[in-house]
Structure 1
Amino acid sequence: MIPSFDHYKVKWQVESDDVIKPGLEAIEEALSLVGNPQQTLRVVHLAGSNGKGSTLTFLEAIAQEHGLRVGKFMSPCIVDVHDQIQVNGQAISATEMDRVFQQMQQAGLSGKLTDFELLTVVAFLHFVNKKVDIALIEAGMGGLLDSTNVVTPIASIIPSIALEHTKFLGDTLESIAHHKAGIIKQHCPVIIGELPDEAKRVVYNKASDKRAAVFELGHHFAIMATPDGECYTNEAQHCQISNLTRSMKGGHQANNMALAITAFFELASVLNVSINHSAIRQAVQNASILGRFEEIMPFIILDGAHNPASAEKLVETIKNEFPSEPITFVIGILADKDVQQILQIFEQVSDDFYFVDFDNPRAMTAQKMLELSNATSKTVLVDYASFLQAQSQSKQRTVVSGSLYLLTAVRNRLKE
């Protein structure tokens, strides 16, 4: 379910299925009916278990700071469907969405696609309509069979690979890496973060098959802490950028920043853009993303850690940022995630848990999460909006986490 998407589907009588159907045949047929907009776009394609959104946000900021018009397609939404498709940070408007739906209705797309496939077509058409210089496209799930995998990118980025969506992607790192590496295209470079060895082998083999250059963090480029911020180095580019200071918290965000800078070097060479180190410094300082260690109100943190790997990063950041503070967790998780392991990781920094139900057909019930928890203080929470306001007023550090869908619900309730 994509919030507010049904409004346009009903208005323009364009039907689509609220299911997951991996594969490219349907979307390829649909795109051909609307003129194959994806073929006219210059694209950076991102797939991975964690870090896609943050890497994309760093790259967006760097490109914009260099004067480029940047489209981005991310999922899931923060508030509703509009914020998943943006140009230079501006969400697609209702008028612009109507324009694209009219195009799709006239092309006869009704009944041919799933919701996410239809939304992917919306993104491509909107970016063409807005004449973007570059489109940053985040895969929805996996990569190989994801509806976004119809592009031929300037570069691909795989920030991380961990066990996730095992029902669709397989239950081994090799299987999941096979899907993520599916975004690698012939002669198109791929930029990778710190990957487990078994996943890295799959990616390198795929890149070799496609004759695609691999640029690996810690091997071809690096990021390191210095007294004056962080320093990025890239041997191939004979480049060093020092005094980098970022707003996004957590050591893992340094890696995402480095991936984005490396990707921009590839972009700049294709788009004939002169790289400005001062612009990069300004961009990474400005870059921020909702739901990534976001303090939505005093003492209340939202973080979309939704699998064990991202839960580890959140715990690491909590230890660094609040080493002596007691932490309360408000948790809601999708049932197809490794819920027990995520909770065990969170329990490293807290013994105070509140579990909530939220409106998603895949959500695990609050009662079931409570039963899986080993915490001694655990409660099913109904009115989380009032609870969070009280926690803020009493200056009790509280982290809301487990699912980006929960974060959307919390944000909307707090705005009300």
Structure 2
Amino acid sequence: MIPNLNRYKEKWNVKSDDIIKPGLAAIEEALVRVGNPENGLQVVHLAGTNGKGSTLTFLESLAKEHGLRVGKFMSPCIVDVHDQIQVEGQAITRAEMDQLFQQMQAAGLSEKLTDFELLTVAAFLHFAASDVDIALIEAGMGGLLDSTNVVTPIVSIIPSIALEHTKFLGTTIERITHHKAGIIKPYKPVIIGDLPQEAKDIIHKEAREKQSAVLELNQQFSVGQEKDGETYEYDKQSFHLSKLTRSMKGAHQANNMALAITAFLEVATALNIKVIKSALEKGVKEATILGRFEEILPHVILDGAHNPASVEKLIETIKSEFPDEQIALVIGILADKDVPQILQLFEQISDHFYFVDFNNPRAMGAQKMLELSGAPYKEVLVDYASFLQHQSERKLKTIVTGSLYLLTEVRNRLKSI
């Protein structure tokens, strides 16, 4: 379910399925019908379990500070369908979306695609019409059979790999990596983060077969800490940065920053762009993202940790930012996630759990989450907006987490009060 997508489907009588159908045949046929707009784009393609959005945001900021016109396609949405497709940081407008749907309807795409495939086609059309210098494309699920995997990128990025979407991608790290590694293209480098060894082995094998270079965190490039900021090193280009400061909290964001800088240096080489160190420093500092340790009210933080790996990163950040403080957790999670393990992990840092229902057909009920929780103090919240305002006024640290769909609902609700 993509909020507000149905508005355009109904207005222009373009029908598509709201289910997941892995495979590229349908979107490849659709793109031929609209003139293959993806072929004219300079692309960076991202896939992985966690870190895609943050890495993309760092990369967007670096490109912007070098004067590049940037398009980005992300999922899921933060507010609604419009913010998934952006140019120069601006969400696609209703008028622009109407124009795209009129074009797709005329091309005969009705009943041929899933919702996400339809949105992917719209993104490519919008970026081509907007004449972007670089398009940052985030895979929706997996990589190999994801509808975004029709591009030939300058560079691919895989920030992390953990168990996710096991119904579609498989139940082992090896099977999931097979899907993620599907975004690697012949002769195009792939940048990887701190991955499990079994994942690295599969990616290196795939890259050898496609004669693609692997640029690996803590091998070809690295990030470090010094007294007055962070450092970055890239051996391939004998490139060094120091005194880097980030606005995005958490030690794991240093890795995402390093991935993005490396990707930008590869893009700059491919597109003959002069790299300006001061622009990189500013880009790192200016990069921010909704739903990543975002303070929506004083002392109330939103973070979209929705699987065990991202929960562990959030816990590290909470311990670093709020040592020795009591933490309250407001949680809503999709039922297809590993809810028991997520709750068990969160019990390391809090005894106070508040479960909420939110508007998504895949959401686990608040009462069911409460029954799964082993927390000493737990309850179902009906009016979470009043609760969060009260927590803020009392200066009590409160983390709202679980699903990005929940964060969207909470943000909209609090802004409307």
The reply on whether 1:12 has 2:12 as its aligned counterpart is: yes
**Deviations 1:368-415 (CA, angstroms, capped at 9, x unpaired):** 111111101000111111111111111111000011111011111111
Q: Secondary structure at the match of 1:16?
A: coil
Residue 267 of structure 1 pairs with residue 267 of structure 2: yes
SS in 1 for 2:237: coil
Report the Cα offset of residue 270 of structure 1: 1.2
Secondary structure at 2:302's aligned position in 1? strand
Equivalent position SS for 1:364: coil
Instruction: Give the Å deviation of 1:109.
Output: 0.6
Give, in whole Å, the separation in 2 of the partners of 1:157 and 1:134: 15
- Which amino acid letter does the alignment assign opposite residue 24 of structure 1? L
Give the root-mean-square deviation of aligned CA atoms.
Answer: 0.6
User: 1:307 aligns to what?
Assistant: 307
**CA–CA distance in structure 2, aligned partners of residues 387 and 291 of structure 1:** 19
Structure 2 unaligned residues grouped into runs of 5+: none
1:336-383 deviation line (CA, Å, top 9, x unaligned): 111111111111110100001111111111111111111010001111
The amino acid across from 1:368 in the alignment is K
What are the superposed Cα offsets for residues 115-162 of structure 1, whole Å, 9 maximum, x if unpaired? 000000110000001000000000000000100000000000000000
Q: How much has 1:20 moved relative to structure 2?
A: 0.5
| Alpha-carbon separation, structure 2, partners of 1:72 and 1:210 | 26
In structure 2, distance between residues paired with 1:177 and 1:55: 19
AA aligned opposite 1:322: F
Secondary structure at the aligned position of 1:168 is classed as: helix
Matches within 5 A, 1:141-220: 141-220=141-220
Following the alignment from structure 1 to structure 2, what is the Cα–Cα distance between the partners of residues 102 and 228? 53
Equivalent residue letter for 1:243: K
Partner of 2:55: 55
Cα distance in 1 between the residues matched to 2:269 and 2:315 = 38
Give the match for residue 83 of structure 1. 83
TM-superposed deviation, 1:164:
0.5
- 1:18-53 superposed Cα distances (whole Å, 9 cap, x missing partner): 101110011001111000111111100000000000
- TM alignment of 1:62-81, pairs within 5 A: 62-81=62-81
Normalising by structure 1, what TM-score?
A: 0.99
Per the alignment, residue 364 of structure 2 pairs with 364
Alpha-carbon distance in structure 2 between the residues aligned to 1:237 and 1:246: 23
Moved over 3 A (4+): none
The secondary structure found in structure 2 opposite 1:335 is: coil
Q: Give the residue type in structure 2 aligned to 1:294.
A: E
Look up the match of 2:405: 405
Superposition deviation, residue 324 in structure 1:
1.5
SS of the aligned residue for 1:284 comes to helix
The answer for the alignment partner of 2:380 in structure 1 is 380
TM-score, normalised to structure 2's length? 0.99
How many Å separate the matches in 2 of 1:382 and 1:171? 35
- Supply the AA of the counterpart residue of 2:376: T
Number of the residue aligned with 1:33:
33
Instruction: Give the equivalent residue in structure 2 for 1:225.
Output: 225
Q: What is the DSSP-based 3-state SS (H/G/I as helix, E as strand, rest coil) of the residue aligned with 2:236?
A: coil
C-alpha deviation, 1:9, in angstroms: 0.8
- Structure 2 distance, partners of 1:193, 1:34, is 35
Report how far residue 329 of structure 1 moved.
0.3
> Paired residue for 2:134?
134
Q: Give the Cα–Cα distance (whole angstroms) in 2 for the partners of residues 321 and 172 of structure 1.
A: 33
Amino acid at match of 1:211: Q
In 2, Cα distance between equivalents of 1:2 and 1:379: 29
Task: Give the percent of matched residue pairs that are identical in Structure 1 and Structure 2.
Answer: 72
Secondary structure at the aligned position of 1:311 is classed as helix
Distance 2:145 2:184 in 1: 12
The corresponding residue for 1:105 is: 105
Question: CA separation in 1, counterparts of 2:248 and 2:293?
Answer: 8
SS of 1:77's equivalent in the other structure is coil
- Distance, in Å, in 2 between the alignment partners of 1:405 and 1:61 is 24
| Paired AA for residue 95 in structure 1 | A
- Give the count of matched residue pairs: 416
Does structure 1 residue 349 correspond to structure 2 residue 349? Answer: yes
Q: How far does residue 99 in structure 1 lie from its aligned partner after superposition?
A: 1.2
Q: 1:239 corresponds to which residue?
A: 239
User: Gaps (5+ residues) in structure 1?
Assistant: none
Structure 2: how far apart are the matches of 1:271 and 1:86?
21
CA distance in 1, matches of 2:286, 2:166: 35
Distance 2:11 2:245 in 1: 46
1: CA distance, partners of 2:352 / 2:18 = 36
Deviation string, structure 1 residues 211-242 (Cα, Å, up to 9, x no partner):
10000000000000111100000111101011
